[in-house]
Amino acid sequence: MGTDGPAGRPASGRAARPAEPPPAARLVTWTSAFFSHPNQVAALFWAGGAVASASALILVRWPASSRLALLAVTGVCGAGAAVRILLGARPRRWALHLDLATAVLAVSILAAVGAAGHVAFQDLYIWIGVFATLYLPFRGALVQTGAAGAAYAAVLAVGPPVAQPVAAWLAVFGTLGVAGTVTFMLVSYLRGTSLTDPLTGLANRRSFDQRLEEEMRRALRTGAPCSLVVADLDGFKAINDRAGHAAGDRVLQDLSKAWRSEVREGGDFLARLGGDEFVVLGPGSGAVGGRRLAKRLEATLPAGLAASFGVASWDGSEAGQDLLRRADEAMYRAKAARRAQLTRSRGA
């Protein structure tokens, strides 16, 4: 087992230039990256509202009061898009709620104005529901959708007369209900698959990176210790070559099951980084706790399996990826020491 220090990974040969991914893969990657940032999507939605209200303002003859309302909403939507473009950081949940509440107010004004000009601005409520189900938990999305429904009901009750107001409300919010439900189910499924390793059921690299960032922020606030244990199986490729990939998969599954029982439930965070490399994040655990955990993991390795472990404890100021790098380097030193020991024992 290795501990953190200045040494890095063993030098390797010059890496081959990776092949250019096909256009479809690049499109999927870009789409995933775009929708993973609520600010970008909110900016797109605000810009869409600005275009819708500005287009109606230009193309339809409106009374003076309606023109003023359309101008105001266009300005609010344009400002919302600009703010979201300028704010590069991921917005807090309260900011998303504020965006949606403002959007409900803006669409309600447009719906009241559009009733006189026969423009179906009320359809924009559907986009509010879609955005809410994309980025809010179920309860938050339900609250925002309910607020939108109540706002449109108020518009139909006290605003300009609309033929068959109940049918108008049901048409919009029946569609919103179906679209929101489908969106929420798809998002829930994709979140689960994007954060879980399908073979072992453990958290994957993306999920680990998110958790590491959260724990580093918490540690900076509280000053609590934090440790990382990185583990890499020794000779795993030989198992695949000798017994086949199905056997290798079973080894990884058995190992994951054994290690789940050794980590603190609700405390330690076990993840598969990829291939035969695993990591355990130990919030509130220092260097001693990290070394003890590594020994427990080593003691529960399935028969005939060996692994190299690297342990690093947070220095109180470094970023999470720097902590991971030090643990990774410690693991590679442990692996090199194990190989050297095996070489000496064979030569003896």
* Residue 131 region by backbone torsions, left for phi larger than 0, else alpha for psi between -120 and 50, else beta: alpha
Is 268 annotated as catalytic? no
In the chain, which ranges are E strands? 2-3, 226-234, 269-274, 277-283, 306-313
- Using CB atoms within 10 A of its CB, is residue 320 exposed (0-12), middle (13-18) or buried (19+)? buried
Q: Cα separation of 112 and 9, whole Å?
A: 65
Q: Cα separation of 73 and 76, whole Å?
A: 5
Give one DSSP letter per residue of 226-257, joined into a string: EEEEEEEEESHHHHHHHH-HHHHHHHHHHHHH
Output the six-digit token pair for 52.
Answer: 């819708």
Catalytic residue among 232, 276, 322, 328: 276
Contact 283, 204 (CB under 8 A): no
**At CA 167, angle to CA 164 and CA 168, rounded to 5?**
85
CA-to-CA dists, residue 204 to 181, 300, 323, angstroms: 27, 21, 18
Q: What is the DSSP letter of 269?
A: E
Give one DSSP letter per residue of 39-78, joined into a string: HHHHHHHHHHHHHHHHHHHHHS---HHHHHHHHHHHHHHH
**At CA 276, angle to CA 13 and CA 326, rounded to 5?**
65
Residues serving a catalytic function are 276
